[in-house]
Copies of this chain bind each other. A is one copy, B any other.
Amino acid sequence: MYLTQGLHRAMQQHPDRLATVDGDRTFTYARSAQRTAKLASALHSIGVKPGDRVGMLALNSDRYHEYLLAVPWADAVLNPINIRWSPAEIGYALRDSQTNVLFVDDAFSPTVPALRASYPGLHTVVHCGNSPTPEGMFSYEDLISSGEVIDDVRRAGDQLAGVFYTGGTTGLPKGVMLSHANLMTSVLGMLSVGSFLSSEGRLLHVAPLFHLADLAAWAGQTAVGGTHVMLSTFDPTAILQTIERQLVTDALLVPTMLQMVVDHPAVGEYDLASLQNVMYGASPISEAVLSRAMKTMSSARFMQGYGMTELSPLATFLRPEDHDRPDLLRSAGRAAPCAEVKVFDSNDRELPPGHIGEIVARGGNVMLGYWNKPDETASALRNGWMHTGDAGYMNERGYVFLVDRLKDMIISGGENVYSTEVENALCEHPAVAACAVIGVPDELWGERVHAVVVLAENSSATAEALRDFCKTRIAGYKAPRTVSFADALPLSGAGKVLKRELRERFGEDRPSKADSY
- A223 nearest CB neighbor, chain B only: B337
Expressed in whole angstroms, the Cα–Cα distance for A158 and B362 within the complex equals 14
Within 8 Å by CB of A5, from B181, B340, B398, lies B340
Expressed in whole angstroms, the Cα–Cα distance for A505 and B340 within the complex equals 53
Residues of B within 8 A of A429 (CB): none
- The SS class assigned to the A binding surface is mixed
A344 smallest CB distance to B (angstroms):
13
Expressed in whole angstroms, the Cα–Cα distance for A191 and B191 within the complex equals 8
Q: Is the CB of B1 within 8 A of A363?
A: yes
A residues 1-26 with Cβ under 8 Å of B? 1, 5-6, 8-9, 12-14
Q: Is the CB of B9 within 8 A of A398?
A: yes
Expressed in whole angstroms, the Cα–Cα distance for A509 and B13 within the complex equals 38
- A180 nearest CB neighbor, chain B only: B364
Within 8 Å by CB of A397, from B5, B13, B192, lies B13
Q: Is the CB of B188 within 8 A of A8?
A: no
- A337 nearest CB neighbor, chain B only: B223
Residues of B within 8 A of A325 (CB): none
Q: Is the CB of A188 within 8 A of B337?
A: yes
A429 smallest CB distance to B (angstroms):
37
Is A224's CB within 8 Å of the partner chain B? yes
Interface flags for A346-366 (1: CB within 8 Å of B; 0: not) read: 000000000000000011100
Is A189's CB within 8 Å of the partner chain B? yes
Is A394's CB within 8 Å of the partner chain B? yes
Interface flags for A368-407 (1: CB within 8 Å of B; 0: not) read: 0000000000000001100000000010011000000000
Residues of B within 8 A of A338 (CB): 1, 184, 188
Interface flags for A298-336 (1: CB within 8 Å of B; 0: not) read: 000000000000000000000000000000000000110
Residues of B within 8 A of A191 (CB): 188, 191-192, 194, 337
Interface flags for A192-205 (1: CB within 8 Å of B; 0: not) read: 10100000000000
Residues of B within 8 A of A335 (CB): 9, 12-13
Expressed in whole angstroms, the Cα–Cα distance for A335 and B338 within the complex equals 21
Expressed in whole angstroms, the Cα–Cα distance for A322 and B416 within the complex equals 57
Residues of B within 8 A of A383 (CB): 154
Q: Is the CB of B398 within 8 A of A12?
A: yes
- A154 nearest CB neighbor, chain B only: B384
Is A185's CB within 8 Å of the partner chain B? yes
Q: Is the CB of B13 within 8 A of A398?
A: yes
Expressed in whole angstroms, the Cα–Cα distance for A223 and B185 within the complex equals 14
Residues of B within 8 A of A384 (CB): 154
Is A441's CB within 8 Å of the partner chain B? no
Is A284's CB within 8 Å of the partner chain B? no
Is A51's CB within 8 Å of the partner chain B? no
Q: Is the CB of A363 within 8 A of B12?
A: no
A227 smallest CB distance to B (angstroms):
17
Residues of B within 8 A of A341 (CB): 12
Q: Is the CB of A394 within 8 A of B12?
A: yes
Expressed in whole angstroms, the Cα–Cα distance for A189 and B341 within the complex equals 21
- A199 nearest CB neighbor, chain B only: B337
Is A87's CB within 8 Å of the partner chain B? no
A residues 224-259 with Cβ under 8 Å of B? 224
- A350 nearest CB neighbor, chain B only: B151
Residues of B within 8 A of A342 (CB): 12
Q: Is the CB of A185 within 8 A of B9?
A: no
Given A158-B158, A383-B154, residue A1 in contact with residue B364 (CB < 8 A):
yes
Expressed in whole angstroms, the Cα–Cα distance for A340 and B2 within the complex equals 10
Is A157's CB within 8 Å of the partner chain B? yes
Expressed in whole angstroms, the Cα–Cα distance for A9 and B338 within the complex equals 10
Given A185-B188, A188-B185, A192-B188, residue A364 in contact with residue B157 (CB < 8 A):
yes
Q: Is the CB of A185 within 8 A of B363?
A: no
Other than the given A9-B337, A191-B191, 5 more pairs (CB < 8 A) read A8-B340, A12-B341, A12-B394, A157-B364, A192-B194
- Which 6 residue pairs across A and B have the least CB separation, nearest first? A188-B188, A154-B384, A12-B398, A1-B364, A13-B398, A191-B192
